[in-house]
């Protein structure tokens, strides 16, 4: 497959506007400006583009909702807060191919009649902040941003808004709160951001990877784009693979590539020829899978049928040296730390889950602890404003579902039999 | 007091947003850089320039983990220990920093040269274990490599 999102990134100067243009960049923008916004939405619909942040929501539908709201100004926000543990897929776009994202945002802004855009960038990517600031300045100098884009009566202004270390700000309403200068606590929906978003105006929030697909969709057309990868949710997809794997990294492959093939064909298999124990397929919030359940197409439609989710496409591979109780404990420590505190089931529940898992791991677990974990998880699931609580509960439920004997052994033998 | 340059920087940031409140997070970054941490004076300065009550500024800032809520060493070591880094040995590196540099998580060494912050995922999972020192990324860490890196920071 031709590289779309990671095109040209081996060029050390790929972040420069001159190099981006030499490689064909900023050619879709004038083409898009010749089209009516409605026609672009139609192309995106034909392309079947779904949001790459984790939810897989159809982009054309989100855009139609925002476009049909009569309020102005409208805002376009790029979610560059990738904080889902295991995820590092947007980083190469931000650091090596920033103009692809910027071109995608200008096209999207024009389509939505949004004249202001912000890239909400996680605080943990200081290098990307400098690169994006420079790229945005270059785009202004070249007339791609500002008052009269490409000489037309189109305005779009873009700035980077730097977060400060809060996972929850990757949730779109928390992101909006944070952009507005508040604590990153999610809002209840409805109203949805497409109607009442940033500064109470219609707002579209899309992930870095999603927006970076726009120039290519304009270039080849929605119809041709829809032929790439899974018919139900097409396009190129970034998979980021980490853990006990021979060749970790970010891979651009057709959406729906089989998980087993990603691990064994593209990434060279388990590190040092080790034995596979478990795989988290889409970032830490997605249900863990045992080695016999990896024949699943990695896309938004098929993963739920195979007992997990695509999430952010962050594959974490774990070999037999790993204690899964400890992984589960570490995950819950993360969720406890990142819970914003707004909803009681999540704020209190994540702490209790972490505490019970901690005692099982260190050898002081008692009979009934597994049932207690399941009971607490069940009391979080579906009872919170945003999906953070559900993610935490589902991690515990799925580790127990697939690896219950390991938890039982910890309790029976008063600790972990693996030395790590 | 903020420097003239910092005031100009915050005013330029303010111009990018429809409300003064939206400039709060970036303005706090500027004040933190000027004062070294979010001291009472830092809040005072941000509050004055944006016209936002100090209590609001502090209430917002304390939600976020990456602001410096207390004085820190000259260099901040931010080591990830989340799952991908953990399974590739990050915890041993925490012990190493403790033994070799007297650095406790959340603490500062006696010379004030380094502070250690334990991070949740910093997006370097494919090159784990990883850390940031101030704004610089370091990946595929080993004990020996950490010694080499930290030698560069005075």
DSSP for A329-369? HHHHHHHHHH--S-SHHHHHHHHHHHHHHHHHHTT---TTH
Q: What are the structural domains, with CATH classification, of chain A?
A: 17-225 (3.40.50.11540), 236-319 (3.10.20.600), 324-419 (1.20.1440.230)
What are B133's strand-pairing partners? B77, B136
- What pLDDT does residue B1 have? 85
Q: State whether A123 and B19 contact (CB < 8 Å).
A: no
Residue B77: other Cβ atoms inside 10 A? 25
Q: How far does the CA of residue B67 sit from the closest CA of chain A (Å)? A: 6
Average confidence (pLDDT) over B126-143: 97
Q: How far does the CA of residue B78 sit from the closest CA of chain A (Å)? A: 9
Where are the strands (E) in A181-286, listed by range?
203-207, 236-243, 249-254, 276-280
Q: State whether B22 and A180 contact (CB < 8 Å).
A: yes
Pure H helices in A142-196: 172-179
Pairing of the two strands B131-133 and B136-138: antiparallel
Average confidence (pLDDT) over B82-100: 98
Q: State whether B60 and A182 contact (CB < 8 Å).
A: yes
Which tokens is A37 given?
Answer: 């916004």
Residue A419: other Cβ atoms inside 10 A? 6
Tell me the CATH number of domain B4-63, given options 2.30.30, 1.10.10, 1.10.8, 3.30.1450: 1.10.10
Give ranges for CATH 3.40.30.10 in chain B. 75-150
Q: State whether A248 and B122 contact (CB < 8 Å).
A: no
Average confidence (pLDDT) over A239-260: 98
Which of B21, B59, B123 is opposite residue A125, by nearest beta carbon?
A: B123
Which chain B residue has the Cα nearest residue A323? B87
**Is-contact B29 B10, C-beta < 8 A?**
no
- Residues counted in chain B: 154
Tokens 């805002």 correspond to A75
Average confidence (pLDDT) over A265-288: 98
What does the alpha-carbon distance between residue A39 and residue A36 come to, in Å, rounded to a whole number?
A: 5
Residue A14 pLDDT more than 80? yes
H-run or E-run covering B84: helix B83-86
Contacts of B76 in chain A (CB under 8 A): none
ipTM of the modeled complex: 0.97
Which of B53, B59, B126, B130 is the best mutation test for A, with the most CBs of A within 10 A?
Answer: B126
Which of A90, A181, A327 is opposite residue B83, by nearest beta carbon?
A: A327
Q: State whether B22 and A166 contact (CB < 8 Å).
A: no
Most distant CA pair in chain B: distance in Å?
Answer: 50
Average confidence (pLDDT) over A376-402: 97
**Is-contact A388 A338, C-beta < 8 A?**
yes
> Residue A95's closest CA among A22, A11, A27, A214?
A11
In chain B, count H helices and then E strands. 7, 4
Q: State whether B83 and A240 contact (CB < 8 Å).
A: no
**Is-contact A201 A64, C-beta < 8 A?**
no
Where are the strands (E) in A314-372, listed by range?
314-319
Average confidence (pLDDT) over A205-210: 98
What does the alpha-carbon distance between residue A18 and residue A144 come to, in Å, rounded to a whole number?
A: 13
Residue A177: other Cβ atoms inside 10 A? 22
3 state SS of A31: helix
Average confidence (pLDDT) over A213-235: 97
Q: How far does the CA of residue A348 sit from the closest CA of chain B (Å)? A: 17
Contacts of B132 in chain A (CB under 8 A): 124, 126
Q: How far does the CA of residue A182 sit from the closest CA of chain B (Å)? A: 6
Chain centroid, CA A380 distance in Å: 23
Q: Which CATH class is domain B75-150?
A: alpha beta
Give, in degrees to the nearest 5, the angle at Cα A310 between A99 and A358.
110
Residue A278: other Cβ atoms inside 10 A? 22
Whether the model pTM is above 0.90: yes
Residue A420 pLDDT more than 90? no
Which of B23, B78, B125 is opposite residue A181, by nearest beta carbon?
A: B23
**Is-contact A51 A206, C-beta < 8 A?**
yes
What are A329-342's pLDDT values in tens digits?
A: 999 999 999 999 99
Helix%, strand%, coil% for chain B, nearest 5 = 45, 10, 40
- Residues counted in chain A: 420
Most distant CA pair in chain A: distance in Å?
Answer: 73
What are A22-48's pLDDT values in tens digits?
A: 999 999 999 999 999 999 999 999 999
- What pLDDT does residue A157 have? 98
Q: How far does the CA of residue B18 sit from the closest CA of chain A (Å)? A: 8
Helix-helix angle B90-101:B143-150, to 10 degrees: 50
Q: State whether B60 and A165 contact (CB < 8 Å).
A: no
Give ranges for CATH 1.10.10 in chain B. 4-63
What are A117-137's pLDDT values in tens digits?
A: 999 999 999 999 999 999 999
DSSP letter assigned to residue A304: G
Which of B19, B78, B126 is opposite residue A199, by nearest beta carbon?
A: B19
What does the alpha-carbon distance between residue B68 and residue B64 come to, in Å, rounded to a whole number?
A: 9
HSE-CB for A220 with a 13 A CA cutoff: 13
Average confidence (pLDDT) over A377-399: 97
Q: State whether A244 and B87 contact (CB < 8 Å).
A: yes
What are B4-28's pLDDT values in tens digits?
A: 999 999 999 999 999 999 999 999 9
**Is-contact A348 A356, C-beta < 8 A?**
no
Residue A418 pLDDT more than 90? no
Which tokens is A353 given?
Answer: 């889950």
């Amino acid at each position: 497959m031709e590289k779309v999102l990671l095109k040209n990134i081996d060029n050390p100067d790929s972040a420069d506007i001159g190099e981006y243009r030499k490689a064909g960049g900023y050619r879709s923008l004038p083409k898009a400006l010749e089209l009516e916004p409605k026609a672009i939405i139609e192309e995106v619909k034909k392309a079947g583009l779904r949001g790459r942040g984790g939810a897989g929501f159809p982009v054309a539908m989100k855009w139609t909702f925002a476009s049909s709201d009569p309020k102005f100004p409208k805002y376009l926000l790029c979610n560059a807060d990738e904080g889902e543990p295991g995820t590092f897929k947007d980083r190469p776009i931000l650091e090596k191919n920033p103009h692809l994202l910027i071109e995608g945002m200008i096209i999207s802004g024009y389509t939505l009649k949004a004249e202001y855009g912000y890239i909400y960038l996680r605080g943990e990517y200081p290098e990307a902040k400098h690169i994006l600031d420079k790229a945005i300045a270059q785009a202004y100098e070249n007339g791609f941003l500002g008052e009269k884009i490409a000489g037309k009566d189109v305005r779009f202004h873009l700035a980077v808004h730097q977060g400060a270390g809060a996972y929850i700000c990757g949730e779109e309403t928390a992101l909006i709160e944070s952009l507005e200068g508040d604590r990153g606590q999610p809002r209840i929906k409805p109203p949805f951001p497409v109607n009442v978003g940033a500064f109470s105006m219609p707002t579209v929030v899309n992930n870095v990877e999603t927006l970076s697909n726009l120039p290519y969709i304009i270039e080849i057309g929605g119809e041709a784009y829809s032929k790439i990868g899974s018919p139900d949710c097409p396009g190129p997809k970034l998979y980021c693979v980490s853990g006990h794997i021979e060749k970790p990294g970010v891979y651009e492959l057709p959406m729906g590539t089989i998980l087993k093939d990603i691990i064994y064909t593209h990434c060279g298999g388990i590190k040092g020829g080790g034995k596979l124990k478990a795989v988290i397929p889409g970032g830490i919030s997605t249900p863990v899978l045992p080695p016999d359940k990896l024949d699943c197409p990695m896309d938004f439609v098929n993963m739920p049928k195979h007992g997990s989710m695509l999430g952010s496409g962050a594959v974490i591979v774990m070999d037999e040296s790993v204690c899964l109780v400890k992984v589960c404990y570490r995950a819950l420590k993360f969720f406890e730390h990142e819970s914003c505190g707004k909803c009681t089931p999540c704020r209190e529940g994540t702490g209790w889950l972490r505490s019970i898992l901690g005692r099982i791991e260190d050898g002081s677990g008692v009979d009934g602890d597994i049932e207690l974990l399941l009971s607490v998880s069940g009391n979080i699931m579906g009872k919170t404003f945003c999906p953070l609580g559900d993610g935490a509960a589902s991690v515990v439920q799925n580790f127990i579902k697939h690896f219950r004997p390991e938890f039982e052994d910890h309790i029976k033998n008063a600790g972990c039999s693996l030395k790590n | 007091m903020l420097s003239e340059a910092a005031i100009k920087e915050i005013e330029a940031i303010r111009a990018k947003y429809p409300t003064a409140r939206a400039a709060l997070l970036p303005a706090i970054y500027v004040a933190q850089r000027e004062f070294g941490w979010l001291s009472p004076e830092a809040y005072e300065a941000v509050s004055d320039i944006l016209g936002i009550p100090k209590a609001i500024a502090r209430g917002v800032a304390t939600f976020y983990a990456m602001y410096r809520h207390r004085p820190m060493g000259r260099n901040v070591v931010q080591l990830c220990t989340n799952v991908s880094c953990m399974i590739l040995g990050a915890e041993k590196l925490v012990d190493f920093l403790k033994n070799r540099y007297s650095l406790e998580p959340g603490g500062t060494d006696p010379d004030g040269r380094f502070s250690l912050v334990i991070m949740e995922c910093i997006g370097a999972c494919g090159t784990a274990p990883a850390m940031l020192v101030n704004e610089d990324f370091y990946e595929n860490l080993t004990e020996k490599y950490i010694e080499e890196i930290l030698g560069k920071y005075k």
